Amino acid sequence: MNSCNPPSHAMKANTSMPGFLTTIPLYDLLSNKALYHKKMIQTEGYYLQAFEISALYHEFQIDVWNDNKKHYDFGNGLWIDFDHKKFKYPSYESVQKRIITVKGIFDTTETGHMGIYVAGLTRAEVVAIR
């Protein structure tokens, strides 16, 4: 996927009603980070969970083996830091490799494990799973 083009399943921002949660397409969120820093947002994408990985992507990330190491496109991912008290599913693995809608505080300084992600979503909650 060309990182310059938004995915076809992008959502429209809901900014028409004050006080309502703003829904931002993941592509827009990561492309315009400063606009959303420290704001409560909602977005959607493919969730990937593995050892030291918890991230949302525009598209499904395929495990690519190179010299017996898995490589992911971390630079295009949004680190997800779930609010563990509000996680209502059996495990994080139960929502992985699926399209999920999440809400939380968007933070450009929260760049996840070893600082390899573009930004993060803190106090994140799963709103829906497809």
Q: Does position 38 have pLDDT exceeding 90, yes or no?
A: yes
In angstroms, rounded to a whole number, what is the distance separating the alpha carbons of residues 18 and 33? 20
As for how many domains the chain has, the answer is 1
**pLDDT tier, 53 (very low <50, low <70, confident <90, very high otherwise):** confident
Residue 45 sits in a domain whose CATH number is: 2.40.50
Is the residue at 4 inside a domain? Answer: no
Q: What is the pLDDT of residues 2-33, one digit of tens each?
A: 444 444 444 444 444 445 676 799 999 999 99
Output the pTM of the full model: 0.75
Q: Are strands 53-57 and 78-82 parallel, antiparallel or unpaired?
A: antiparallel
Provide the pLDDT for residue 61: 59
12 assigned to some structural domain? no
pLDDT for residue 41: 95
Q: CB burial class (10 A; 0-12, 13-18, 19+) of residue 82?
A: buried
Residue 105 in domain: yes
- pLDDT bin (cut points 50, 70, 90) of residue 88 is confident
* Position 13 in a domain: no
- State the DSSP H helix or E strand holding residue 65, giving kind and residue range, or none if neither: strand 64-66
The residue among 55 and 93 whose pLDDT is bigger is 55
Higher-scoring residue by pLDDT: 61, 103: 103
Region 31-47: mean pLDDT is 94
Answer whether residue 15 is part of any domain: no
Full domain range(s) for residue 74: 22-129
Q: Are 121 and 105 in contact, with CB atoms under 8 Å apart?
A: yes
